[in-house]
Amino acid sequence: MTNAAVAAAIPLAPPAVRRGRLTRAGAALWRVVAPDGRVAGHLRALESDAGMRYRAERLRAGALVAVGEFWTPDEAVETLLLSR
């Protein structure tokens, strides 16, 4: 994982994704809803020196835990949808 800073506090528009649906959960945070309606996890936008990154997160024991960081929102969402 990188030490990327969380994207600005100004709410970002949700990124386009091929599968699932995103619902706002924060300025740079969205819930990832699977096609069957279950919440698969969260997608967080992060700014880094190399550009925008997307972190896949899952709720575990009351805290959001990073699953991985990706260059595209589709990669992050696919990871959440295909893993349990």
Q: pLDDT digit of tens for each residue in the chain (84 aa)?
A: 444 555 556 677 788 899 999 999 998 999 999 999 999 999 999 998 999 999 999 999 889 899 999 999 999 999 999 987
Asked if residue 68 belongs to a domain, the reply is yes
Asked if residue 9 belongs to a domain, the reply is no
pTM of the model: 0.83
Asked if residue 6 belongs to a domain, the reply is no
Q: Which of 27, 9, 16, 26 is nearest to 76 (CA)?
A: 16
CA dihedral 62, 63, 66, 71 (to 10 degrees): 100
Asked if residue 7 belongs to a domain, the reply is no
Asked if residue 58 belongs to a domain, the reply is yes
Domain that holds residue 51: 15-82
Asked if residue 64 belongs to a domain, the reply is yes
Query: How many domains, the chain?
Result: 1
Asked if residue 74 belongs to a domain, the reply is yes
Q: Is the dihedral of CA 49, 52, 67, 26 positive or negative?
A: positive
